[in-house]
Amino acid sequence: MLTVEELTKTAPAAGTGSEKEQTVQRMFSSIARYYDLNNSLLSLGLHHYWKRRAIEYLLVGDPPHPRPLGEPVAPRGTHCSLDAMGHSTGHGEMETSRILPGERGSLRGSPGARGSVKLVLDVGAGTADLALLAARRLGEKARIVAADLNRPMLAIGVEKVRKATLQNRIACVQANAEHLSAPDATFDAVTTGFCLRNVGNLAQALHEVWRVLKPGGRLICLEFSRPVSSWLSRLYDWYSFTLLPWIGTRVSGDTTGVYQYLPASIRSFPDQDGLARVLREIGFKKVDYHNLSGGIVAIHVAVK
């Protein structure tokens, strides 16, 4: 039987930089229609719980946030004139019935929004699960920008946002995590779920997240990590290198190797402490992480 290291080496290599970006995007385009179904099947529904737990960290009070995110900070009756997409309809409305390109200015919160609305960016939003949870959890004054490079994934997200009638609070934008067009210090918080493993240049993406966060703003990163106990680790290795690719590939009819790439990408991504170190190197303070499901996933919380 092959070892995890050998299995990792034989998985489709995504490379680095733009080569990785193209390979990964091809994979997500191939499975977009089956992404939600496979997520639920392959995680036995746990991804809903992981995402809910991550979103809770938007609400936890911390010294840099005198009020928990989501509480209105402006006097009652103040309109939010957020034009996150440069498509303001006046009073906090956002046009999201289609995918908006992440052009310069399109990820901008208008000056009027400052102090009157909580603005959250979800990086690698995919089919918009985290954005939907954030919008519901933070309440109607919050605005969420769901950004992803992949149109087919975002198209599913747009449809889910429309069905939830949250178009006025969530804008879906096609944007690259490594080159966000938002001005510096735009967002109160950035969330990201299972995306950072997939970017071509992790440091570049994290520098961008740091740049677009307001001082005191927080990054909440939900990502696969390393099980803490050896028996869980062995079980998880067996599952993710054998059963997971088998089920995932059959359900989606994928031919790009995405479900072989998935476990390999997890093993080559920094573990809990490694990612915390990278975040500190980027300049984040108060970096902390919380293991879920025995460390299969971890939520890193970091403050700018």
Ligand X SMILES: C[S@@+](CC[C@H](N)C(=O)[O-])C[C@H]1O[C@@H](n2cnc3c(N)ncnc32)[C@H](O)[C@@H]1O
Nearest to 217 by CA among 111, 95, 79, 58: 58
Residue nearest to ligand X (CB): 126
For residue 135, which phi and psi values (nearest 5 degrees)?
Answer: -60, -45
Q: Name the residue with tokens 């954030």.
A: 134
| Shorter beta-carbon distance to ligand X: residue 142 or 145 | 145
150 is a site residue for ligand X (CB under 6 A): yes
| Shorter beta-carbon distance to ligand X: residue 65 or 267 | 267
Q: Which of 148, 208, 223, 254 binds ligand X (CB under 6 A)?
A: 148
Nearest approach in angstroms of CB 47 to ligand X is 7
Q: Which of 178, 188, 208, 254 binds ligand X (CB under 6 A)?
A: 178
- DSSP β-ladder status, 213-224 and 297-303: antiparallel
| Shorter beta-carbon distance to ligand X: residue 42 or 80 | 42
Nearest approach in angstroms of CB 264 to ligand X is 14
82 is a site residue for ligand X (CB under 6 A): no
Nearest approach in angstroms of CB 35 to ligand X is 7
- With contacts defined by CB under 6 A, name the span among 146-154, 231-239, 249-257, 294-302 that binds ligand X: 146-154
Contact set for ligand X, span 106-145 (CB under 6 A):
124-127, 129-130
Nearest approach in angstroms of CB 64 to ligand X is 25
- DSSP β-ladder status, 297-303 and 285-292: antiparallel
- With contacts defined by CB under 6 A, name the span among 108-116, 149-157, 237-245, 278-286 that binds ligand X: 149-157
d(CA 107, CA 114): 14
Contact set for ligand X, span 226-245 (CB under 6 A):
none
| Shorter beta-carbon distance to ligand X: residue 130 or 166 | 130
- With contacts defined by CB under 6 A, name the span among 102-110, 175-183, 247-255, 265-273 that binds ligand X: 175-183
Nearest approach in angstroms of CB 199 to ligand X is 4
- With contacts defined by CB under 6 A, name the span among 59-67, 187-195, 239-247, 268-276 that binds ligand X: 187-195
- Side by side, the strands of the sheet bearing 187-193 are 100-101, 170-174, 143-148, 119-123, 187-193, 213-224, 297-303, 285-292
Phi-psi region of 202 (alpha: psi -120 to 50; beta: other; left: phi over 0): alpha
Nearest approach in angstroms of CB 263 to ligand X is 13
| Shorter beta-carbon distance to ligand X: residue 88 or 127 | 127
Contact set for ligand X, span 24-63 (CB under 6 A):
24, 28
193 is a site residue for ligand X (CB under 6 A): yes
By CB under 6 A, name the binding residues for ligand X: 21, 24, 28, 124-127, 129-130, 148-150, 153, 176-178, 193-195, 198-199
